[in-house]
Protein backbone atom coordinates (compact mmCIF):
# COMPACT_ATOMS: atom_id res chain seq x y z
CA UNK A 1 0.00 0.00 0.00
CA UNK A 2 1.49 3.37 -0.98
CA UNK A 3 1.34 6.49 1.11
CA UNK A 4 -1.07 8.18 -1.32
CA UNK A 5 -3.47 5.24 -1.28
CA UNK A 6 -3.29 4.81 2.52
CA UNK A 7 -4.27 8.38 3.37
CA UNK A 8 -7.86 8.19 2.01
CA UNK A 9 -8.37 4.88 3.78
CA UNK A 10 -7.26 6.36 7.11
CA UNK A 11 -9.53 9.38 6.59
CA UNK A 12 -12.47 7.06 6.01
CA UNK A 13 -11.64 5.22 9.22
CA UNK A 14 -11.42 8.39 11.32
CA UNK A 15 -15.17 8.77 12.06
CA UNK A 16 -15.36 5.12 13.04
CA UNK A 17 -12.35 5.52 15.35
CA UNK A 18 -13.96 8.57 16.99
CA UNK A 19 -17.27 6.78 17.50
CA UNK A 20 -15.59 3.76 19.01
CA UNK A 21 -13.50 5.99 21.26
CA UNK A 22 -16.62 7.64 22.66
CA UNK A 23 -18.21 4.24 23.23
CA UNK A 24 -15.12 2.94 24.96
CA UNK A 25 -14.83 6.00 27.18
CA UNK A 26 -18.26 5.48 28.69
CA UNK A 27 -17.35 2.13 30.22
CA UNK A 28 -14.83 3.59 32.71
CA UNK A 29 -17.25 5.91 34.47
CA UNK A 30 -17.33 5.79 38.26
CA UNK A 31 -13.84 4.33 38.63
CA UNK A 32 -11.62 7.04 40.14
CA UNK A 33 -8.90 7.27 42.82
CA UNK A 34 -9.94 8.47 46.27
CA UNK A 35 -6.74 9.76 47.88
CA UNK A 36 -5.11 13.17 47.54
CA UNK A 37 -1.54 14.09 48.49
CA UNK A 38 -0.99 16.39 51.43
CA UNK A 39 0.33 19.89 50.89
CA UNK A 40 3.64 19.85 52.76
CA UNK A 41 3.54 23.53 53.62
CA UNK A 42 0.06 23.10 55.13
CA UNK A 43 1.53 20.94 57.92
CA UNK A 44 2.14 23.36 60.79
CA UNK A 45 5.68 23.02 62.13
CA UNK A 46 7.00 26.55 62.61
CA UNK A 47 6.16 26.72 66.33
CA UNK A 48 7.75 23.36 67.14
CA UNK A 49 10.89 24.10 65.13
CA UNK A 50 11.21 27.72 66.23
CA UNK A 51 14.40 28.63 68.05
CA UNK A 52 16.52 26.08 66.20
CA UNK A 53 19.51 27.44 64.36
CA UNK A 54 19.29 27.47 60.59
CA UNK A 55 22.07 25.40 59.08
CA UNK A 56 22.76 24.16 55.54
CA UNK A 57 22.44 20.43 55.11
CA UNK A 58 25.86 18.80 54.68
CA UNK A 59 26.12 15.62 52.60
CA UNK A 60 29.02 14.34 54.76
CA UNK A 61 27.23 15.29 57.97
CA UNK A 62 29.26 12.88 60.12
CA UNK A 63 32.39 15.01 59.68
CA UNK A 64 30.89 17.51 62.13
CA UNK A 65 31.80 15.06 64.93
CA UNK A 66 35.46 15.88 64.34
CA UNK A 67 36.90 12.35 64.37
CA UNK A 68 39.00 11.33 61.33
CA UNK A 69 38.66 7.64 62.18
CA UNK A 70 34.85 7.89 61.95
CA UNK A 71 35.21 9.60 58.57
CA UNK A 72 37.45 6.76 57.35
CA UNK A 73 35.10 4.06 58.60
CA UNK A 74 32.03 5.51 56.91
CA UNK A 75 33.92 6.14 53.67
CA UNK A 76 35.12 2.52 53.74
CA UNK A 77 31.61 1.19 54.34
CA UNK A 78 30.12 3.21 51.48
CA UNK A 79 32.59 1.65 49.07
CA UNK A 80 31.73 -2.04 49.37
CA UNK A 81 29.10 -3.06 51.91
CA UNK A 82 27.08 -6.07 50.59
CA UNK A 83 23.74 -4.42 51.34
CA UNK A 84 24.68 -1.53 49.05
CA UNK A 85 25.48 -3.98 46.26
CA UNK A 86 21.94 -5.32 46.57
CA UNK A 87 20.54 -1.78 46.37
CA UNK A 88 22.60 -1.09 43.26
CA UNK A 89 21.33 -4.34 41.70
CA UNK A 90 17.75 -3.20 42.28
CA UNK A 91 18.59 0.04 40.46
CA UNK A 92 19.92 -1.90 37.46
CA UNK A 93 16.77 -4.04 37.53
CA UNK A 94 14.59 -0.91 37.43
CA UNK A 95 16.68 0.52 34.56
CA UNK A 96 16.06 -2.65 32.55
CA UNK A 97 12.33 -2.49 33.33
CA UNK A 98 12.17 1.11 32.10
CA UNK A 99 14.02 0.00 28.95
CA UNK A 100 11.40 -2.67 28.33
CA UNK A 101 8.62 -0.10 28.67
CA UNK A 102 10.41 2.20 26.22
CA UNK A 103 10.98 -0.61 23.70
CA UNK A 104 7.23 -1.22 23.51
CA UNK A 105 6.82 2.29 22.05
CA UNK A 106 9.22 1.68 19.17
CA UNK A 107 8.62 0.03 15.78
CA UNK A 108 9.59 -3.63 15.60
CA UNK A 109 11.52 -4.81 12.56
CA UNK A 110 12.50 -8.45 12.06
CA UNK A 111 14.01 -10.45 9.23
CA UNK A 112 12.61 -13.77 8.06
CA UNK A 113 14.02 -16.47 5.82
CA UNK A 114 11.76 -19.40 5.14
CA UNK A 115 11.52 -22.40 2.85
CA UNK A 116 8.32 -24.40 2.63
CA UNK A 117 7.00 -26.95 0.19
CA UNK A 118 3.85 -28.92 -0.50
CA UNK A 119 2.70 -31.79 -2.69
CA UNK A 120 -1.02 -31.82 -3.35
CA UNK A 121 -2.45 -35.32 -3.96
CA UNK A 122 -3.95 -35.97 -7.39
CA UNK A 123 -7.03 -37.24 -5.59
CA UNK A 124 -7.66 -33.65 -4.53
CA UNK A 125 -6.42 -31.73 -7.55
CA UNK A 126 -5.64 -33.11 -11.04
CA UNK A 127 -2.35 -32.33 -12.78
CA UNK A 128 -0.64 -30.04 -13.27
CA UNK A 129 -1.62 -28.70 -9.83
CA UNK A 130 -1.79 -32.07 -8.15
CA UNK A 131 0.82 -34.74 -8.04
CA UNK A 132 3.79 -32.38 -8.16
CA UNK A 133 5.94 -31.02 -5.34
CA UNK A 134 6.15 -27.23 -5.16
CA UNK A 135 8.69 -25.37 -2.99
CA UNK A 136 8.77 -21.68 -2.10
CA UNK A 137 11.69 -19.65 -0.80
CA UNK A 138 10.71 -16.50 1.17
CA UNK A 139 13.02 -13.67 2.25
CA UNK A 140 11.50 -10.61 3.87
CA UNK A 141 11.26 -7.97 6.56
CA UNK A 142 8.41 -7.92 9.10
CA UNK A 143 7.49 -4.45 10.34
CA UNK A 144 5.09 -3.88 13.24
CA UNK A 145 4.14 -0.63 14.90
CA UNK A 146 1.35 0.45 17.24
CA UNK A 147 0.87 4.25 17.25
CA UNK A 148 0.42 5.69 20.73
CA UNK A 149 -2.88 7.40 19.94
CA UNK A 150 -4.00 7.95 23.53
CA UNK A 151 -0.64 8.25 25.32
CA UNK A 152 -0.96 4.91 27.09
CA UNK A 153 2.43 3.64 26.01
CA UNK A 154 4.10 6.89 27.06
CA UNK A 155 2.28 6.66 30.39
CA UNK A 156 3.60 3.13 30.96
CA UNK A 157 7.10 4.37 30.18
CA UNK A 158 6.70 7.35 32.54
CA UNK A 159 5.44 4.99 35.27
CA UNK A 160 8.53 2.80 34.82
CA UNK A 161 10.76 5.89 35.01
CA UNK A 162 8.99 6.93 38.22
CA UNK A 163 9.65 3.51 39.73
CA UNK A 164 13.28 3.78 38.62
CA UNK A 165 13.68 7.15 40.29
CA UNK A 166 12.15 5.74 43.48
CA UNK A 167 14.58 2.82 43.49
CA UNK A 168 17.50 5.19 42.89
CA UNK A 169 16.44 7.29 45.86
CA UNK A 170 16.04 4.18 48.01
CA UNK A 171 19.61 3.22 47.10
CA UNK A 172 20.70 6.58 48.50
CA UNK A 173 18.57 5.88 51.58
CA UNK A 174 20.51 2.63 52.11
CA UNK A 175 23.74 4.63 52.18
CA UNK A 176 22.27 7.14 54.62
CA UNK A 177 21.04 4.35 56.90
CA UNK A 178 24.41 2.61 56.78
CA UNK A 179 26.31 5.79 57.65
CA UNK A 180 23.88 6.52 60.50
CA UNK A 181 24.22 3.02 61.95
CA UNK A 182 28.01 3.24 61.87
CA UNK A 183 27.88 6.63 63.60
CA UNK A 184 25.58 5.25 66.31
CA UNK A 185 27.84 2.23 66.87
CA UNK A 186 30.84 4.55 67.03
CA UNK A 187 29.13 6.71 69.64
CA UNK A 188 28.41 3.54 71.61
CA UNK A 189 32.11 2.65 71.38
CA UNK A 190 33.09 6.07 72.72
CA UNK A 191 30.60 5.73 75.59
CA UNK A 192 31.94 2.27 76.45
CA UNK A 193 35.48 3.67 76.71
CA UNK A 194 34.20 6.46 78.97
CA UNK A 195 32.42 3.89 81.12
CA UNK A 196 35.65 1.89 81.34
CA UNK A 197 37.51 4.99 82.53
CA UNK A 198 34.93 5.66 85.24
CA UNK A 199 34.91 2.00 86.35
CA UNK A 200 38.72 1.95 86.50
CA UNK A 201 38.79 5.14 88.58
CA UNK A 202 36.10 3.78 90.90
CA UNK A 203 38.03 0.53 91.30
CA UNK A 204 41.19 2.46 92.20
CA UNK A 205 39.25 4.58 94.70
CA UNK A 206 37.60 1.52 96.24
CA UNK A 207 40.94 -0.28 96.57
CA UNK A 208 42.43 2.68 98.39
CA UNK A 209 39.40 2.77 100.64
CA UNK A 210 39.77 -0.97 101.28
CA UNK A 211 43.46 -0.55 102.15
CA UNK A 212 42.70 2.22 104.62
CA UNK A 213 39.92 0.15 106.17
CA UNK A 214 42.22 -2.80 106.72
CA UNK A 215 44.81 -0.53 108.32
CA UNK A 216 42.16 0.87 110.69
CA UNK A 217 40.98 -2.62 111.60
CA UNK A 218 44.54 -3.73 112.23
CA UNK A 219 45.10 -0.68 114.44
CA UNK A 220 41.88 -1.39 116.33
CA UNK A 221 40.32 1.89 115.28
CA UNK A 222 37.46 0.39 113.26
CA UNK A 223 35.61 -2.89 112.77
CA UNK A 224 35.19 -5.16 109.73
CA UNK A 225 32.00 -3.43 108.47
CA UNK A 226 33.82 -0.70 106.54
CA UNK A 227 36.23 -3.25 105.11
CA UNK A 228 33.41 -5.48 103.85
CA UNK A 229 31.66 -2.48 102.29
CA UNK A 230 34.87 -1.49 100.53
CA UNK A 231 35.28 -5.04 99.20
CA UNK A 232 31.80 -4.85 97.72
CA UNK A 233 32.71 -1.58 96.01
CA UNK A 234 35.90 -3.09 94.56
CA UNK A 235 34.06 -6.13 93.20
CA UNK A 236 31.29 -3.94 91.78
CA UNK A 237 33.80 -1.67 90.04
CA UNK A 238 35.59 -4.72 88.62
CA UNK A 239 32.31 -6.03 87.20
CA UNK A 240 31.54 -2.61 85.67
CA UNK A 241 35.00 -2.52 84.06
CA UNK A 242 34.48 -6.01 82.61
CA UNK A 243 31.05 -5.02 81.28
CA UNK A 244 32.51 -1.88 79.70
CA UNK A 245 35.25 -3.91 78.02
CA UNK A 246 32.61 -6.30 76.67
CA UNK A 247 30.70 -3.32 75.27
CA UNK A 248 33.90 -2.07 73.63
CA UNK A 249 34.51 -5.42 71.96
CA UNK A 250 30.87 -5.72 70.87
CA UNK A 251 30.81 -2.19 69.42
CA UNK A 252 33.99 -2.86 67.45
CA UNK A 253 32.60 -6.11 66.06
CA UNK A 254 29.35 -4.35 65.13
CA UNK A 255 31.28 -1.66 63.25
CA UNK A 256 33.33 -4.30 61.43
CA UNK A 257 30.13 -6.06 60.35
CA UNK A 258 28.66 -2.76 59.13
CA UNK A 259 31.81 -2.31 57.06
CA UNK A 260 31.15 -5.70 55.48
CA UNK A 261 34.37 -7.07 57.01
CA UNK A 262 35.22 -9.91 59.38
CA UNK A 263 35.77 -9.54 63.15
CA UNK A 264 39.55 -9.17 62.66
CA UNK A 265 38.86 -5.70 61.25
CA UNK A 266 37.73 -4.69 64.74
CA UNK A 267 41.26 -5.06 66.10
CA UNK A 268 42.45 -2.03 64.12
CA UNK A 269 39.72 0.27 65.44
CA UNK A 270 41.20 2.51 68.15
CA UNK A 271 39.52 4.58 70.81
CA UNK A 272 37.42 7.44 69.40
CA UNK A 273 38.54 10.96 70.01
CA UNK A 274 36.42 13.32 72.05
CA UNK A 275 33.43 13.63 69.75
CA UNK A 276 31.80 17.03 69.32
CA UNK A 277 28.03 17.41 69.30
CA UNK A 278 27.14 20.40 67.10
CA UNK A 279 24.23 22.55 68.21
CA UNK A 280 20.92 21.37 66.74
CA UNK A 281 19.78 23.16 63.63
CA UNK A 282 17.34 22.72 60.79
CA UNK A 283 17.15 24.12 57.23
CA UNK A 284 15.63 27.54 56.86
CA UNK A 285 12.61 26.14 54.98
CA UNK A 286 10.73 23.32 56.71
CA UNK A 287 8.92 21.24 55.60
CA UNK A 288 9.47 22.27 51.95
CA UNK A 289 13.23 21.77 52.24
CA UNK A 290 12.60 18.36 53.78
CA UNK A 291 10.94 17.14 50.57
CA UNK A 292 14.09 17.55 48.54
CA UNK A 293 16.44 15.72 50.92
CA UNK A 294 14.63 13.00 52.84
CA UNK A 295 14.82 9.77 50.80
CA UNK A 296 11.61 8.10 51.98
CA UNK A 297 9.56 11.23 51.20
CA UNK A 298 11.11 11.69 47.76
CA UNK A 299 10.85 7.98 46.91
CA UNK A 300 7.19 7.87 47.93
CA UNK A 301 6.51 10.94 45.78
CA UNK A 302 8.03 9.17 42.77
CA UNK A 303 5.94 6.07 43.44
CA UNK A 304 2.78 8.16 43.65
CA UNK A 305 3.75 9.86 40.40
CA UNK A 306 4.35 6.46 38.78
CA UNK A 307 0.98 5.22 40.05
CA UNK A 308 -0.80 8.25 38.55
CA UNK A 309 0.79 7.51 35.17
CA UNK A 310 -0.31 3.88 35.48
CA UNK A 311 -3.91 5.13 35.77
CA UNK A 312 -3.50 6.97 32.47
CA UNK A 313 -2.15 3.78 30.90
CA UNK A 314 -5.06 1.72 32.23
CA UNK A 315 -7.58 4.24 30.84
CA UNK A 316 -5.97 4.17 27.42
CA UNK A 317 -6.83 0.46 27.11
CA UNK A 318 -10.55 1.40 26.90
CA UNK A 319 -9.94 3.20 23.60
CA UNK A 320 -9.44 1.78 20.11
CA UNK A 321 -5.96 0.53 19.21
CA UNK A 322 -4.43 0.72 15.77
CA UNK A 323 -1.76 -1.79 14.80
CA UNK A 324 0.27 -1.32 11.65
CA UNK A 325 2.00 -4.31 10.10
CA UNK A 326 3.82 -4.97 6.86
CA UNK A 327 5.78 -7.72 5.16
CA UNK A 328 8.20 -6.72 2.42
CA UNK A 329 10.36 -9.29 0.67
CA UNK A 330 10.76 -11.68 -2.20
CA UNK A 331 9.34 -15.15 -2.83
CA UNK A 332 10.02 -17.64 -5.55
CA UNK A 333 10.13 -21.33 -6.26
CA UNK A 334 13.89 -21.35 -6.90
CA UNK A 335 17.00 -19.36 -6.23
CA UNK A 336 17.32 -18.20 -9.83
CA UNK A 337 13.97 -16.38 -9.72
CA UNK A 338 14.30 -15.12 -6.12
CA UNK A 339 15.80 -11.71 -6.93
CA UNK A 340 13.85 -10.90 -10.06
CA UNK A 341 11.25 -8.14 -10.12
CA UNK A 342 8.53 -10.76 -10.46
CA UNK A 343 9.43 -12.17 -7.01
CA UNK A 344 8.64 -8.93 -5.13
CA UNK A 345 6.22 -9.51 -2.21
CA UNK A 346 4.44 -6.84 -0.17
CA UNK A 347 1.66 -7.16 2.37
CA UNK A 348 0.44 -4.79 5.06
CA UNK A 349 -2.13 -2.44 6.43
CA UNK A 350 -3.76 -1.12 9.61
CA UNK A 351 -5.81 -3.17 12.04
CA UNK A 352 -8.29 -1.55 14.41
CA UNK A 353 -9.31 -3.23 17.68
CA UNK A 354 -11.65 -2.20 20.47
CA UNK A 355 -12.70 -4.30 23.48
CA UNK A 356 -16.47 -4.62 23.66
CA UNK A 357 -17.05 -7.31 26.26
CA UNK A 358 -14.16 -8.52 28.40
CA UNK A 359 -15.90 -9.77 31.53
CA UNK A 360 -14.95 -6.60 33.46
CA UNK A 361 -11.19 -7.05 32.96
CA UNK A 362 -10.51 -3.43 31.97
CA UNK A 363 -12.66 -1.91 34.74
CA UNK A 364 -11.07 -4.14 37.35
CA UNK A 365 -7.61 -3.32 36.03
CA UNK A 366 -8.43 0.40 36.27
CA UNK A 367 -9.83 -0.09 39.78
CA UNK A 368 -6.62 -1.88 40.75
CA UNK A 369 -4.43 0.96 39.46
CA UNK A 370 -6.63 3.48 41.28
CA UNK A 371 -6.18 1.52 44.51
CA UNK A 372 -2.41 1.33 43.92
CA UNK A 373 -2.38 5.11 43.48
CA UNK A 374 -4.33 5.54 46.72
CA UNK A 375 -1.82 3.30 48.51
CA UNK A 376 1.11 5.26 47.06
CA UNK A 377 -0.42 8.57 48.11
CA UNK A 378 -1.13 7.22 51.59
CA UNK A 379 2.51 6.13 51.82
CA UNK A 380 3.62 9.58 50.65
CA UNK A 381 1.40 11.36 53.16
CA UNK A 382 2.56 9.05 55.93
CA UNK A 383 6.24 9.52 55.09
CA UNK A 384 5.81 13.29 55.13
CA UNK A 385 4.10 13.30 58.53
CA UNK A 386 6.59 10.77 59.92
CA UNK A 387 9.51 12.81 58.60
CA UNK A 388 8.35 15.99 60.32
CA UNK A 389 7.71 14.07 63.55
CA UNK A 390 11.18 12.55 63.52
CA UNK A 391 12.75 15.96 62.93
CA UNK A 392 10.74 17.43 65.81
CA UNK A 393 11.55 14.49 68.12
CA UNK A 394 15.28 14.64 67.40
CA UNK A 395 15.33 18.40 67.83
CA UNK A 396 13.42 18.26 71.14
CA UNK A 397 15.66 15.44 72.38
CA UNK A 398 18.79 17.42 71.54
CA UNK A 399 17.46 20.50 73.33
CA UNK A 400 16.45 18.50 76.42
CA UNK A 401 19.81 16.72 76.57
CA UNK A 402 21.68 20.02 76.24
CA UNK A 403 19.77 21.28 79.29
CA UNK A 404 20.48 18.08 81.25
CA UNK A 405 24.18 18.17 80.34
CA UNK A 406 24.37 21.77 81.54
CA UNK A 407 22.76 20.80 84.86
CA UNK A 408 25.09 17.83 85.36
CA UNK A 409 28.10 19.99 84.60
CA UNK A 410 27.01 22.44 87.28
CA UNK A 411 26.61 19.55 89.71
CA UNK A 412 30.05 18.28 88.74
CA UNK A 413 31.56 21.68 89.44
CA UNK A 414 30.04 21.53 92.92
CA UNK A 415 31.35 17.97 93.42
CA UNK A 416 34.80 19.06 92.23
CA UNK A 417 34.72 21.98 94.67
CA UNK A 418 33.76 19.59 97.50
CA UNK A 419 36.68 17.28 96.59
CA UNK A 420 39.08 20.21 96.53
CA UNK A 421 37.83 21.28 99.95
CA UNK A 422 38.26 17.75 101.30
CA UNK A 423 41.84 17.65 99.98
CA UNK A 424 42.57 21.01 101.59
CA UNK A 425 41.19 19.90 104.94
CA UNK A 426 43.14 16.61 104.68
CA UNK A 427 46.41 18.44 104.05
CA UNK A 428 45.65 20.67 107.02
CA UNK A 429 45.10 17.64 109.22
CA UNK A 430 41.44 18.45 109.79
CA UNK A 431 40.06 15.28 108.19
CA UNK A 432 41.11 11.81 107.05
CA UNK A 433 41.88 10.33 103.68
CA UNK A 434 38.69 8.36 103.94
CA UNK A 435 36.76 11.62 103.69
CA UNK A 436 38.73 12.53 100.56
CA UNK A 437 37.93 9.18 98.97
CA UNK A 438 34.29 9.58 99.95
CA UNK A 439 34.23 13.00 98.24
CA UNK A 440 35.55 11.41 95.04
CA UNK A 441 32.58 9.05 94.64
CA UNK A 442 29.93 11.68 93.70
CA UNK A 443 32.38 13.12 91.17
CA UNK A 444 32.86 9.72 89.52
CA UNK A 445 29.12 9.10 89.50
CA UNK A 446 28.54 12.45 87.80
CA UNK A 447 31.27 11.65 85.28
CA UNK A 448 29.46 8.42 84.43
CA UNK A 449 26.14 10.26 84.11
CA UNK A 450 27.74 12.96 81.98
CA UNK A 451 29.27 10.36 79.63
CA UNK A 452 25.88 8.72 79.16
CA UNK A 453 24.19 12.06 78.46
CA UNK A 454 26.90 13.06 75.99
CA UNK A 455 26.41 9.77 74.15
CA UNK A 456 22.65 10.32 74.01
CA UNK A 457 23.26 13.85 72.72
CA UNK A 458 25.50 12.53 69.95
CA UNK A 459 22.87 9.93 69.04
CA UNK A 460 20.29 12.74 68.87
CA UNK A 461 22.58 14.53 66.41
CA UNK A 462 22.73 11.39 64.26
CA UNK A 463 18.94 11.05 64.48
CA UNK A 464 18.44 14.67 63.45
CA UNK A 465 20.83 14.42 60.52
CA UNK A 466 19.15 11.25 59.33
CA UNK A 467 15.67 12.73 59.81
CA UNK A 468 16.71 15.70 57.65
CA UNK A 469 17.83 13.36 54.90
CA UNK A 470 21.56 13.52 55.56
CA UNK A 471 22.09 16.41 53.19
CA UNK A 472 21.31 14.27 50.14
CA UNK A 473 20.46 16.18 46.97
CA UNK A 474 17.65 14.14 45.46
CA UNK A 475 15.58 14.76 42.35
CA UNK A 476 11.88 14.87 43.14
CA UNK A 477 8.88 15.06 40.76
CA UNK A 478 8.29 18.64 39.60
CA UNK A 479 4.87 18.89 41.24
CA UNK A 480 2.67 17.20 43.80
CA UNK A 481 1.45 13.79 42.53
CA UNK A 482 -2.25 14.06 41.74
CA UNK A 483 -3.98 11.45 39.60
CA UNK A 484 -6.89 13.80 38.96
CA UNK A 485 -4.66 15.94 36.73
CA UNK A 486 -1.79 13.63 35.80
CA UNK A 487 -3.97 10.91 34.31
CA UNK A 488 -6.06 13.06 32.04
Position 43 pLDDT exceeds 70:
no
**Lowest pLDDT segment from 235-239, 332-336, 466-470, 473-477:** 473-477
* Nearest in space to 180 (alpha carbons), one of 52, 294, 281: 294
Class of domain 43-105+148-319+354-486: mainly alpha
CB of 70 within 8 A of CB of 188? no
Q: According to the per-residue pLDDT averaged within each range, which of 44-58, 92-106, 249-263, 418-432 is highest? A: 249-263
Sorted by where each begins, the domain ranges of the chain are 1-27+109-147+320-353, 43-105+148-319+354-486
| Burial grade of 385 (CB within 10 A; 0-12, 13-18, 19 or more) | middle
CB of 160 within 8 A of CB of 306? yes
Position 462 pLDDT exceeds 50:
yes
Polymer length of the chain: 488
User: Please, which residues have CB within 8 angstroms of residue 394's CB and are 6 or more apart in sequence?
Assistant: 280, 460, 463, 464, 467
Q: Where are the beta strands (DSSP E) in 334-392?
A: 344-353
pLDDT at 41: 62
Task: State mean pLDDT over 207-229.
Answer: 77
Above pLDDT 70, what percent of the chain?
A: 84
Decide whether 1-27+109-147+320-353 matches 43-105+148-319+354-486 in CATH topology.
no
Please state the φ and ψ torsions of residue 370, each to the nearest 5 degrees. -60, -45
- The fold of the 1-27+109-147+320-353 domain, in CATH, is Outer membrane efflux proteins (OEP) (2.20.200)
108-162 tens-digit pLDDT: 999 988 888 888 887 787 887 777 888 888 888 999 988 888 888 899 999 999 9
pLDDT at 13: 55
Position 285 pLDDT exceeds 80:
no
Amino acid sequence: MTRNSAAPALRRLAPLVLALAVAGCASMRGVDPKAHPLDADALAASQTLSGAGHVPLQRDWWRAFGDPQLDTLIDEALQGQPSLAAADARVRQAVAQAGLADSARQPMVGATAQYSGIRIPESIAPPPLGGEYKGVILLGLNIKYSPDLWGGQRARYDAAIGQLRAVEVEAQASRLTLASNIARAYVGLAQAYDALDVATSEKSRSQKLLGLGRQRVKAGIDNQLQTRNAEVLVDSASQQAQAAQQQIDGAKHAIAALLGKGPDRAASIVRPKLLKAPPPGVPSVIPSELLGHRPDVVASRWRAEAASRAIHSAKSEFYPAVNLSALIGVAAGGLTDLFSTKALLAQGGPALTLPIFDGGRLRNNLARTDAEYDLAVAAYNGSLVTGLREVADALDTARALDAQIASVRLARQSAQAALSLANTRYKAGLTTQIDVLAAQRPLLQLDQQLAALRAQRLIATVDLDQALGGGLELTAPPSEPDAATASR
